[in-house]
Amino acid sequence: MSTLHSLLKPKTYRFIDQSNLGPSFSALQSFATDDALSISVGERMSPTTARLWVHHNTVVLGIPDARLPYIQEGINYLKSQGYQVVVRNSGGLAVVLDEGVMNLSLIFPDSKQVNIHEGYEAMVSFIQYLFSDFTDQIEAYEITQSYCPGTYDLSINGKKFAGISQRRVKNGSAVQIYLDVSGSGSERAALLKHFYEIGRKNEETRFTYPHINPSVMGSLNELLDLNLSVADIRDRILIKIHELSGDIVTTPLEGQEIEWFHKRFEQMIKRNEKALENLT
């Protein structure tokens, strides 16, 4: 296993668990929360923060996805399969979230020494550390036929189980990862394969959308022959950040952070309306 990244060893961690808020907890609220925390961490009002979040049956689109030539038909298909659809404000393309997917945001203060790659490297390092007792085979490189392919895809034996995005706000940086814990990674991939087939219909597009092969994706339980739950991952993350920093605070959003959250949440709603404004 590679050496733990220095960003992972702050004096104090703040731990916010939003992994069991249920179906009414919207992904738009999650992205607004990370924005508010990024401002707070960047202003040094909050220590480095780990936030856990789970969303039920939600497909989170990237900005380019909203420009698919037949996006409305694609969205109608996702809704027919029981999924909510939102457009996110961080990089990347469509991902599938459900009760078997744990999302983790690590929110770091920016400094002259921290470039965008440092945030990604820190998250890769943390996930390798998180599962080091199960495997030393977690690698970071692009799995081109996965959904939301990127340089920091995490895979085991060539099968992707996690993807990382990053959003920088003011002087803070939220590095977000989804971890397919349980369920079928290939079924999630098949859903988005069909979405792109419907949304693109073989038309030439300026943007290159992924040609998804469901067999290159799997959940951690499938890849490591385990029976982990999202709650197990929550406990594991808490134990590991306690090992990294003996001092953990669990304060929810408060004061100025709540104001920032409401402002960012309104912006997220407006951005979604704008991204999908030509659709009926």
The span from the CA of 43 to the CA of 59, in Å, is 32
Contact by Cβ (8 Å): 35, 279: no
Inter-CA distances, 195 with 35, 79, 224, Å = 29, 11, 28
Residue indicated by tokens 């949440």: 265
Q: What is the DSSP string of 132-153?
A: TTT-S-EEES--TTSSS--TT-
- Which of these, 15, 157, 5, 147, lies nearest to 74 by C-alpha position? 147
- Which of these, 107, 128, 120, 103, lies nearest to 12 by C-alpha position? 107
What is the Cβ-side half-sphere exposure of residue 226, based on CA atoms within 13 angstroms?
A: 18
Contact by Cβ (8 Å): 60, 93: no
Q: Which residues are catalytic?
A: 148
How wide is the angle at C-alpha 210 spanned by C-alphas 206 and 216, nearest 5°?
170
- Which of these, 148, 164, 26, lies nearest to 85 by C-alpha position? 26
- Which of these, 59, 31, 58, 66, lies nearest to 209 by C-alpha position? 66
Q: What is the DSSP string of 42-71?
A: HTTSS-EEEEEE--SSEEEE-GGGGG-TTH
